[in-house]
Amino acid sequence: MLKIKSALISVFDKNGLEPIVKKLQDLNVKIYSTGGTEVYLKQLGVSVIKVEDITGYPSILGGRVKTLHPKVFGGILNRSGNKDDINDLENYSIPKIDLVIVDLYPFEKTLKSGESEQNIIEKIDIGGISLIRAAAKNFKDIVCISTKKDYSNFLKILNKNDGRTDLETRKKFATNAFNISSHYDTAIFNYFNNDNDVFKKSFKSGKQLRYGENPHQKGTFFGDFDEIFIQLNGKELSYNNLLDVDSAVNLMSEFVNNNPTFAILKHNNACGLASRNSLLEAYKDALAGDPISAFGGVLISNKEIDFQTAEEINKLFCEVVIAPGFEDSGLELLKSKKNRIILELKNYSLSDDHIRTCLNGILKQDKDNITDSKSTFKTCTFKSPTKSEIDDLVFASKICKHTKSNTIVLVKNLQLTGSGTGQTSRVDALKQAIEKSNNFKFDLNGSVMASDAFFPFPDCVKIAHEQGISSIIQPGGSIKDILSIEYCNQNNISMVLTGIRHFKH
């Protein structure tokens, strides 16, 4: 147990600091400080020694250099059991420091605010990061408090142990300090980095989940969930809930500016989706797409959920409901099921990167940000799609892009009527989509078909024709494209090529 007799305090954010410095004063701890922190402490009536009085140098270069001095770092880095270190402290009149409370300039916050490059650069901390690393390195002799999240715990320790700390506690605080410093450096590096051959990603903390994909697996979520959602009701989200929510939000991002649109997802794939003039109609038609799979699913809307729609939703057992807003009466009704997770989606930009583990490393790619539209279509058949078919083709392609490969998606009148997901054969994907459509009594005559990749043979086109499908969208690119095109021409089917494949694995 080491007694704290002296402390260096220099923080950008003064919130939460007062109870600690008052306690340190009660314990007769000698306090060194500089700049705004020194002024703040004096306003609290705390006795403070200026760092400049130790170093003999004022703050220079507009505050860029304040604590970078051997008399400061010598006081932090000296080893209590080392005779040479002790002699150096005496010979050079270096005061020993037992506690360092330092935070960092808000680099990430400044970056997000969109300020000028100069202001961003000025928020790259030099002295603070150096003090934190030095104090954390010397944890055997020094306590390093590098974030106000540690203030409460540290204050409890001060009160409980009369200003003393044990080695385990100091090492824990040092671990937190290196977490802070490494995260900070990663953020700065990523601001400067334009090299796709280098990858660094950092999260300061993670949320332990009940379990992973299965109960025997551990799971943790690293990220700021509250930056994207307001949770209005329900239990904590599971690993699988989070995957489904991610899929739902990415899918619905394709329909943000559309008429009222509702989607129902299960195991990361849409099992129902429809756009209508009212949200109630959109929900009913999305549910009709596959009412069996909808049980226990994740529901998402692109519009505020009103009471009438909430009444219909409440009849279904579902895990999660997501919307940009909820009518008060509708929200209260949905909250009647205490475990039902209700999420209000904020106006938030999703990541442009897609990252996953692979072998002993990771794979990183750009997110598939291309959405097929009428302007990108190239009609390759004698017959052109009608206006309503074009609307359905765009609609089907959006769903197809967010469905596990190999996939075929069938749509009619802006309603998902069937999809084949995650099949090893494109023919099997089509057969699965047709079977689903037939099971729920959809008439496929006049419907459209979307494929995430090209048709190497005309077999899918033939099967589609036999079911009455009248228009097809696919990327093209097969050396045998002409076979599918010729079949369409012979059977009065329109086909458009996009030139963009949408694999999703």
Q: Which residues are catalytic?
A: 137, 267
Answer whether 98's CB lies under 8 Å from 4's CB: yes
369-405 burial, b at 16+ Cβ within 10 Å, e below that, comes to: eeebeeeebeebbebebeeebbbbbbbbbbbbbbbbb
Adjacency order of strands within the sheet including 378-379:
378-379, 494-497, 471-474, 448-451, 408-411, 416-420
Sort residue 441 into left (φ over 0), alpha (ψ -120 to 50) or beta.
left
- How many Å apart are CA 452 and CA 372, to the nearest integer? 11
Judged by DSSP in three states, 495 sits in: strand
Nearest by Cα to 52 from 36, 70, 66: 66
Cα separation values, 37 from 15, 135, 137, 369, 415, Å? 11, 19, 24, 46, 62
Residue 302 CA, distance from chain mean position: 20
Answer whether 453's CB lies under 8 Å from 430's CB: no
Which H, E and C letters describe 233-273, residue by residue? ECCCCCHHHHHHHHHHHHHHHHHCCCCCEEEEEECCEEEEE
Cα separation values, 137 from 81, 101, 129, Å? 15, 14, 12
- How many Å apart are CA 52 and CA 68, to the nearest integer? 11
What single-letter amino acid sits at 396?
Answer: A
Nearest by Cα to 283 from 245, 265, 309, 304: 309
Answer whether 324's CB lies under 8 Å from 345's CB: yes
- How many Å apart are CA 101 and CA 15, to the nearest integer? 13
- How many Å apart are CA 434 and CA 318, to the nearest integer? 25
